[in-house]
């Protein structure tokens, strides 16, 4: 039918979708060339949320990077915290205590649950399923309560420290978690009932945004989107960090990489993450949560109050910052969207010389034109939602 359109001298309709458009989360602009309803061409313009993450990191101390990492992938800030801390620890060459590892795993997985819930919820919302959205927001609210209990903030957690954590698990955390998970599972199954088998939903997402595995790899997909294509690559399994190798969990994979697969993978990962948290809580050992290397952390209050050398040293670390040895490392963790890599360069001073983040949703967004050409304009909605582009992470 496009031939007719050409005969009719149909000028193509070029519209700006975004940046301030409900589907683009305010941070992307799609320049869509339409022929009727079909997308002839799609150009993605990002950078609307570029706030100079790297420059800010380079101008602060190693510690001051933590709040900035919170705001990278703001849907799962704890994973960013952990990733950065792990990278710095690798740079310095220290290993954190067992308990710390477990708590970090718990924190990461809670964050992942919140992330996937938000993603599925937002996807549902934009497809018009407002109720499913609110059920997951409700569940996320409960998970956030846990996170708040743990870190003191709902979104911008700033919880992990180099060589340890800010604080230990609070009292009653385990019991509260189990309670919350019980309710979360109810809400999860409600959403599952509302969406997974609903033909209206399936019609919208199935066979849209398909990506063959080879191509997905070439585009640099990672995370749920790659797993949806059938490639079981998960950093937690491939290069287990922390104590993931002791956890018993499965990596859900899809078949064709369409949006339905991405959705199913995410739904399943929520379950798996809950399992991990429960296991970690079960196995949680006692002991310290911080490394015993006072050089790399801010001094404890007891020492500061009582020992003058500690106080002086404290002043030094705060003002000059801790000083990892010169060198460079790259460390990847599995964030909500895939491989979140930190590439740190230290020149031996108190400030990071370079603090690069490999944003997992960056290549995903870059593949939008590939996934969208020749599809209908309405297909942008689920596809873009399911790649879960997070402005803070993509634009930094």
Partner 1 sequence: MDASVTLQRLTERFGDSILETHSYRGDDTAVVKKEDIVALCTFLRDDGKLLYNFMMDLTAVDYLGREPRFEVVYHLYSLRYNRRVRIKAGVPESDCSIDSIVPVWIAADWFEREVFDLYGIAFNGHPDLRRLLLYEGFEGHPLRKDYPVKKRQPLIGPIN
Partner 2 sequence: MGSIKGRLGALRRSGQELLDSGEAERLLGGSVLFTKVESVVNWARKYSFFLYPFVTACCGMEFMSVAGPKYDLDRFGAALPRFSPRQADLLMVVGTISHKQAPVLVKVYNQMTEPKWVFAFGVCAVSGGFYDNYATVQGIDTLIPVDVYVPGCPPRPEMVIDGLMKLQEKVAQERWSDWPRGAAPVTDEAKLTEC
Partner 3 sequence: MTQFDGKGSQVTVGVPAGRLKPKRVRRNLDLTLWEKLYVFEIIRGMYVTTKHFALNMLGFVLPPRGKKRSVFTVYYPDEKVVLPPAYRGRPVLVMRPDGTERCVACGLCETACPGHAISIVGAERENGERYPLSYVLDMTRCVYCGFCEEVCPKEAIVMSSEYQGLAETDRSRMRYSKEQLLRSEESVKGRIEYIRRIYSKCNY
Binding site for partner 1 (CB under 8 A): 46-47, 50, 52, 54-56, 59, 90-91, 93, 217-220, 222, 231, 233, 238-239, 327-330, 332, 339, 341, 343, 345, 353-354, 356, 358, 362-363, 365-366, 395-396
Contact 14, 39 (CB under 8 A): no
- Shortest reach from residue 201's CB to partner 3, in Å: 9
Contact 339, 360 (CB under 8 A): yes
Could you say which of partner 1, partner 2, partner 3, none residue 376 binds, taking C-beta under 5 to 8 angstroms by partner kind?
A: none
- Shortest reach from residue 3's CB to partner 3, in Å: 24
* Alpha carbon of residue 142 to chain centroid: 18
How far is residue 321's CA from residue 166's CA, in Å, rounded to a whole number? Answer: 17
Could you say which of ligand SF4, partner 2, partner 3, none residue 50 binds, taking C-beta under 5 to 8 angstroms by partner kind?
A: partner 2
- Shortest reach from residue 47's CB to partner 2, in Å: 6
156 vs 192, beta carbon nearer ligand SF4: 156
How far is residue 61's CA from residue 352's CA, in Å, rounded to a whole number? Answer: 7
CA distances from residue 144 to 44, 105, 139, 391 in whole angstroms, order as listed: 32, 16, 9, 21
Beta bridge partners of 34: 13, 39
- Shortest reach from residue 291's CB to partner 2, in Å: 28
238 vs 312, beta carbon nearer partner 1: 238
- Shortest reach from residue 16's CB to partner 1, in Å: 15
Could you say which of partner 2, partner 1, partner 3, none residue 25 binds, taking C-beta under 5 to 8 angstroms by partner kind?
A: partner 2
Contact 83, 340 (CB under 8 A): yes
Could you say which of partner 1, partner 3, ligand SF4, none residue 251 binds, taking C-beta under 5 to 8 angstroms by partner kind?
A: partner 3
Could you say which of ligand SF4, partner 3, partner 2, none residue 250 binds, taking C-beta under 5 to 8 angstroms by partner kind?
A: partner 3
How far is residue 210's CA from residue 216's CA, in Å, rounded to a whole number? Answer: 10
- Shortest reach from residue 256's CB to partner 3, in Å: 8
Tokens representing 248 are 């018993």
H helix or E strand, kind and range, residue 87: helix 77-92
Binding site for ligand SF4 (CB under 6 A): 71, 156
Rg for the chain (alpha carbons), in Å?
Answer: 22
* Alpha carbon of residue 210 to chain centroid: 22
Binding site for partner 2 (CB under 8 A): 19-22, 25-27, 47-52, 55-56, 59, 67-68, 70-71, 74-75, 118, 121-122, 134, 137-138, 140-141, 144, 154-156, 391-392, 395
207 vs 328, beta carbon nearer partner 3: 207
Beta bridge partners of 16: 31
Tokens representing 10 are 């149909």
- Shortest reach from residue 381's CB to ligand SF4, in Å: 24
Could you say which of partner 2, partner 3, ligand SF4, none residue 144 binds, taking C-beta under 5 to 8 angstroms by partner kind?
A: partner 2
H helix or E strand, kind and range, residue 217: helix 213-219
Q: Are strands 338-346 and 38-45 parallel, antiparallel or unpaired?
A: unpaired
Residues 290, 296, 297: CA angle, nearest 5 degrees? 60
């Amino acid at each position: 039918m496009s031939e007719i359109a050409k005969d009719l001298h149909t000028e193509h309709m070029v519209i700006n979708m975004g940046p301030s458009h409900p589907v683009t989360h305010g941070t992307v602009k799609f320049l869509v060339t339409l022929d009727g309803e079909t997308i002839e061409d799609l150009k993605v313009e990002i950078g609307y949320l570029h706030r100079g993450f790297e420059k800010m990191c380079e101008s602060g101390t190693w510690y001051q990077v933590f709040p900035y990492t919170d705001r990278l992938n703001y849907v799962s800030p704890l994973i960013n915290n952990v990733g950065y801390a792990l990278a710095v620890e690798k740079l310095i060459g220290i290993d954190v205590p067992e308990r710390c590892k477990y708590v970090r795993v718990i924190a990461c997985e809670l964050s992942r649950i919140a992330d996937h819930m938000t993603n599925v919820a937002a996807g549902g919302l934009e497809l018009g399923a407002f109720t499913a959205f609110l059920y997951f927001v409700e569940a996320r609210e409960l998970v956030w309560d846990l996170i708040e209990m743990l870190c003191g903030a709902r979104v911008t957690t700033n919880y992990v420290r180099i060589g340890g954590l800010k604080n230990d698990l609070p009292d009653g955390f385990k019991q509260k978690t189990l309670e919350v998970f019980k309710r979360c599972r109810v809400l999860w199954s409600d959403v599952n009932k509302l969406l997974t088998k609903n033909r209206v939903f399936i019609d919208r997402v199935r066979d849209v945004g398909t990506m063959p595995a080879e191509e997905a790899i070439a585009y640099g997909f990672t995370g749920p989107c790659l797993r949806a294509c059938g490639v079981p690559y998960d950093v937690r399994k491939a290069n287990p960090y922390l104590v993931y190798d002791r956890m018993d969990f499965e990596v859900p994979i899809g078949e064709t990489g369409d949006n339905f697969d991405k959705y199913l993978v995410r739904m399943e990962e929520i379950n798996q993450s809950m399992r991990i948290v429960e296991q970690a809580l079960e196995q949680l050992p006692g002991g310290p949560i911080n490394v015993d290397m006072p050089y790399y952390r801010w001094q404890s209050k007891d020492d500061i109050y009582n020992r003058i050398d500690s106080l002086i040293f404290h002043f030094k670390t705060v003002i000059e910052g801790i000083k990892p040895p010169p060198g460079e490392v790259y460390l990847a963790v599995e964030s909500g969207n895939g491989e979140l890599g930190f590439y740190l360069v230290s020149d031996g001073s108190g400030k990071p010389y370079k603090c690069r983040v490999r944003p997992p949703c960056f290549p995903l967004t870059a593949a939008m034109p590939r996934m969208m050409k020749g599809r209908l304009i309405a297909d942008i909605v689920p596809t873009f939602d399911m790649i879960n582009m997070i402005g803070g992470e993509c634009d930094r």
